[in-house]
A and B are shown apart, each in its own frame.
Chain A
């Protein structure tokens, strides 16, 4: 992690170098602020690396600080992480293509299926996805009047039909 912090600070310093000269009267410039905090960022990362190398954090804090991060990563089931992140990302990108309604129905079911107890009860999942998707669309489009994506092509037509059934007009 400290290396990522150093890299982020370094990128900012590189980008800020052409923005304005630093510390000259009348010419603090737009690059002043990013340069100062870029230096703070790099310095923080360097201290992090130094702590890691010296093992100071590990000795002082025990496994609760320096090592716990790594342990936590190991304990996480990576398939679960991939599933959760994948469902969130897929849902966000699906809304634009297939519309809020259908993406929400699928997204709710796919995410809730991460829970083992719910995975076995597929009908609960289906009901949750369907009612959740319809309920959210009704509240936001009908009650709050927020225009949400309806989807492209066939998805848009399907959304329109459902919206008409629900009494949601002017979507």
Chain B
């Protein structure tokens, strides 16, 4: 106990009492609305039905779902635009919307975006997004053999069913997780956040030092500004601009949007596809796909289980789920020997799994405030821009927004099937738009996203610098997702850690004495070890950006 003087001890005690006030009693006041803890399953079901009815009957919000799904699908297939980027680029359009409308639009874009890239993978063998790569292995030969209309209808059905199952999972598990989370304290929350950081390492690329470097840079960027616990400016180098901290939306816009714009422009644009459009999904194709897909019950079940399971892990997301699901089908499928030759299972498995990640990725976001994917992080930003911090009490605090998201996922699944079949030819025609024009528009939207966030030129300059850094990170294969999750989870981890230390008189053993915290931190350590083993074994690239 060397170095502890009376003054220091009393200050620690004072801070401990203060922390208990703020994060103990205060947490109840902040997180709990009257009755929210006692909400039964039937209450939740009632809220969900009400939200679905509202969304269905409100033409404005209903239109947002349709527009969002269509914009997401377009983003998924356009070269140079990923669905994460599109969710990010649409953020400035939501600044003037109310919270519920904003999250409905962003969720719909996310939903459509996961599926969009499959259209070009099936038609032209060009995956629009990384998660669409497994779809082309069977989708393209299936389209050549059985007709493009049938393959597109099957893929849209897979996407719709996957999305719907993910939404059901969110509706069933979300409130239950939130109820459990309400009983957790700062040591357990620290364990959860560390588990998120560990999953970044476990799922990172084979170069462990790159993952750790990106993660630590992200955490350090998150530490810039006035410290939340002590109120001391840190890493600001005397700049008043940096005292407010660096908004993760600024870094995200720079790294994901501007970095991609610069990288693709520097590499040179490929020629636009000349033969887009002209593809039609006839009613007969859709009926045949619907009739045939009933035969593959095992594939559906495996894909949805893989998608929902992986979706909840931060840094995993749609890409990992699509690849893993295809791999599982290769191992356990009834016709596994035919995979790759153009069989429906090879198209259903990756599409259903990738789409199912959406609902699952929203579970940690809505219940713990921890985004399960990069696109979920943008939805987190939409909440925070409206002054709402997602967490265990959000089901009681913001029922309209939360159940609005749930209703969007469930209704959006049907919209996806309709747009994916009826509008496939129209979307394919978008491939004729030159990439130079698309990226120029992304540049302007990125500026708007940065400037309109706080009307601050500093954000614009920081975003530009982040764009250049994002370019070099791409060139040197540094994982972007690790930096972003470090930036988002780092401040949370610090807050929960220091709160624990202050509340428990700097007794580190609290992390071992509390069983839930010990279990979570144990899993986090296993994740870090797993990442180390994975890197030594030379595993392939992992998580979604």
Chain A contacts with B in 10-28, Cβ cutoff 8 A: 12, 15-16, 19-21, 24-28
| B494 neighbours in A (Cβ, 8 Å) | 33
A88 CB–B CB distance under 8 Å: yes
| B219 neighbours in A (Cβ, 8 Å) | 33, 37, 40
Residues of A within 8 Å of B, CB-based: how many? 75
- The CA-CA distance from A95 to B96 in the complex, in Å, is 22
> Contact: A40 with B212, CB < 8 Å?
yes
Report A18 CB to chain B, min CB distance, Å: 10
**Given A19-B232, A45-B213, A88-B261; 13 other pairs, CB 8 A cutoff:** A15-B234, A16-B235, A19-B234, A24-B3, A30-B227, A34-B223, A47-B212, A76-B266, A84-B262, A89-B464, A112-B434, A117-B436, A146-B95
> Contact: A118 with B434, CB < 8 Å?
yes
| A95 neighbours in B (Cβ, 8 Å) | 447, 451
4 pairs of A and B residues whose beta carbons are closest in the complex: A115-B436, A26-B12, A84-B265, A111-B440
| A29 neighbours in B (Cβ, 8 Å) | 230
B53 CB–A CB distance under 8 Å: no
A38 CB–B CB distance under 8 Å: yes
Q: Which residue of B lies closest to A46 (CB)?
A: B209
> Contact: B437 with A112, CB < 8 Å?
yes
- The CA-CA distance from A9 to B223 in the complex, in Å, is 13
| B3 neighbours in A (Cβ, 8 Å) | 21, 24-25, 27
B468 CB–A CB distance under 8 Å: yes
A54 CB–B CB distance under 8 Å: no
- Some 9 contacts from A to B, beta carbons below 8 A apart, are A1-B476, A15-B234, A25-B3, A27-B3, A60-B538, A85-B468, A92-B464, A95-B447, A104-B444
Report A77 CB to chain B, min CB distance, Å: 7
- The CA-CA distance from A16 to B236 in the complex, in Å, is 11
| B440 neighbours in A (Cβ, 8 Å) | 107-108, 111-112, 128, 132
Report A46 CB to chain B, min CB distance, Å: 8
| A128 neighbours in B (Cβ, 8 Å) | 437, 440
Also in contact, A72 and B475, with CB within 8 A (given A38-B220, A41-B216, A88-B443): yes
Q: Quick one: which of A40, A111, A144 contacts B216, CB cutoff 8 A?
A: A40
Chain B contacts with A in 399-447, Cβ cutoff 8 A: 434-437, 439-441, 443-444, 447
| B12 neighbours in A (Cβ, 8 Å) | 25-27
B217 CB–A CB distance under 8 Å: yes
- The CA-CA distance from A69 to B440 in the complex, in Å, is 26
A96 CB–B CB distance under 8 Å: yes
A154 CB–B CB distance under 8 Å: no
- The CA-CA distance from A135 to B455 in the complex, in Å, is 21
- The CA-CA distance from A8 to B486 in the complex, in Å, is 15
B93 CB–A CB distance under 8 Å: yes
Also in contact, A69 and B266, with CB within 8 A (given A48-B210, A112-B436, A132-B441): no
Q: Quick one: which of B210, B220, B439, B505 contacts A34, CB cutoff 8 A?
A: B220
List the interface of chain B (C-beta within 8 A of A): 1-4, 8-9, 11-12, 92-93, 95-96, 206-210, 212-213, 215-217, 219-220, 223, 227, 229-230, 232, 234-235, 237, 258, 261-262, 265-269, 271-272, 434-437, 439-441, 443-444, 447-448, 451-452, 455, 457, 460-461, 464, 467-468, 471-472, 475-478, 490, 494, 497-498, 501, 505-506, 538
- The CA-CA distance from A96 to B464 in the complex, in Å, is 14
Q: Quick one: which of A84, A112, A144 contacts B96, CB cutoff 8 A?
A: A144
Q: Quick one: which of B209, B229, B452, B477 contacts A30, CB cutoff 8 A?
A: B229
Also in contact, A114 and B265, with CB within 8 A (given A26-B9, A34-B235): yes
A68 CB–B CB distance under 8 Å: yes
A160 CB–B CB distance under 8 Å: no
- The CA-CA distance from A118 to B436 in the complex, in Å, is 8
| A80 neighbours in B (Cβ, 8 Å) | 265-268
Q: Which residue of A lies closest to B13 (CB)?
A: A26
Report A63 CB to chain B, min CB distance, Å: 12
Q: Which residue of B lies closest to A95 (CB)?
A: B447
A83 CB–B CB distance under 8 Å: yes
> Contact: A30 with B234, CB < 8 Å?
yes
Report B181 CB to chain A, min CB distance, Å: 24
Q: Which residue of A lies closest to B435 (CB)?
A: A115
A130 CB–B CB distance under 8 Å: no
- The CA-CA distance from A10 to B265 in the complex, in Å, is 33
| B472 neighbours in A (Cβ, 8 Å) | 1
| A104 neighbours in B (Cβ, 8 Å) | 444
> Contact: A45 with B237, CB < 8 Å?
no
> Contact: B96 with A113, CB < 8 Å?
no
> Contact: A69 with B217, CB < 8 Å?
no
| B232 neighbours in A (Cβ, 8 Å) | 19-20, 30
Q: Which residue of B lies closest to A116 (CB)?
A: B269
| A44 neighbours in B (Cβ, 8 Å) | 209-210, 212-213, 216
> Contact: B266 with A115, CB < 8 Å?
no
Q: Quick one: which of B235, B436, B460 contacts A92, CB cutoff 8 A?
A: B460
A31 CB–B CB distance under 8 Å: yes
| B261 neighbours in A (Cβ, 8 Å) | 84, 88
Report B227 CB to chain A, min CB distance, Å: 4
A126 CB–B CB distance under 8 Å: no
- The CA-CA distance from A51 to B535 in the complex, in Å, is 13
- The CA-CA distance from A28 to B4 in the complex, in Å, is 12
A65 CB–B CB distance under 8 Å: yes
> Contact: B435 with A12, CB < 8 Å?
no
| B271 neighbours in A (Cβ, 8 Å) | 117
Also in contact, A136 and B444, with CB within 8 A (given A16-B234, A26-B4, A43-B212): yes
> Contact: B213 with A115, CB < 8 Å?
no
Report B256 CB to chain A, min CB distance, Å: 14
- The CA-CA distance from A44 to B479 in the complex, in Å, is 14
| A2 neighbours in B (Cβ, 8 Å) | 209, 213
